[in-house]
Amino acid sequence: MSDTKPSPALTSPRARALALCGVLVAALFGVAAFVPLPYTLTFPGVTADTLGSYQDRPVLTITGAPVRSTQGQLRMVTISATNPGEKTGLWRSLQAWFDADEAVRPTDTVYPQGDPAKAEEVTAQQMVESQDAATAAALAHLQLSPAQVKVKVDLGDIGGPSAGQMLALGIVDKLAGDGKGGDLTGGMTVAGTGTIDDQGVIGPVGGVPLKTQAAARDGATVFLLPKDECADAKVNTPAGLRLVPVGTLAESVSALEGLRTGGAVPAC
């Protein structure tokens, strides 16, 4: 029977200390994998055509002026998020970090005070303000009186301010189209995001890489976005989706004209 002794290098105090540290590190990583972190996973959400219907109800109902029949689509886009009560561990967060269809965000930026009811209240109010601003900007662009033309927006339980640009474009298209009897879209499926104020200024919204994924999934070939978010939008841009940065409603209308006619169109 052989009597093989371990190498002294393997039984030295230093080797034993390193082995113990390795065990402790492995144990810490094992625990970390199951400890919930203060993060929420976000995903590409639903999209809705502002020229059409959402949940079987028209998104835009306009009274006080003739309304056109339209072709093409103007899609607003959303982001979905895991429930605040759903625990997100280290490994799940790392998986999302490397997945183009997921993102990790601090929970308190998605759910204020960790309260989904509070988040819904905030985003609902933001949507109301966005609808009002989009209506004011669109009517001002068309030189129509808000006292005469009334716009009702119905996007169900979708909240937040980021539909502003696409709502304003939908109103312009339904009332005036391209001003020459055609559509703003030229029959294309155009998606986009961006806040808007009553002067028609388009602002950043965040989450653009996930929104471009949602847009491409639902058939868009063009994506209108705030100028300041070009760098974010170019992260994992879906193949076949053209990014068009704009800063005002007038620039959005002009960009769509360029797309229809083969004219100059801004690019990221």
The pLDDT tens digits of the residues spanning 25-65 come to 343 344 444 445 667 778 899 999 999 999 999 999 999 99
- In this prediction, residue 40 carries a pLDDT of 77
CB burial readout 133-151, b (16+ within 10 A) else e: bbbbbbbbbeebeeeebeb
pLDDT value for 12? 58
Q: What is the DSSP letter of 113?
A: G
In the chain, the amino acid numbered 61 is T
Domain boundaries, the chain: 45-79+114-261
Q: Tell the residue number behind the tokens 């979905």, with chain if given.
A: 80
pLDDT of residue 100: 64
CA dihedral angle for residue 136, residue 233, residue 42, residue 185, rounded to 10 degrees? 50
| 3-state DSSP assignment of residue 76 | strand
Q: What is the pLDDT of residues 61-104, one digit of tens each?
A: 999 999 999 999 999 999 987 766 666 656 555 665 666 677 66
Q: Give the integer Cα–Cα distance in Å for 265 and 255.
A: 5
Give residue 21's pLDDT.
45
Per-residue pLDDT averaged across 108-129, rounded?
78
pLDDT band at 237 (very low <50, low <70, confident <90, very high): very high
pLDDT at residue 19 in the model: 46
Architecture of domain 45-79+114-261: 2-Layer Sandwich (3.30)
Which has the closest alpha carbon to 102: 258, 249, 254, 236? Answer: 236
pLDDT score of 206: 87
pLDDT of residue 24: 40
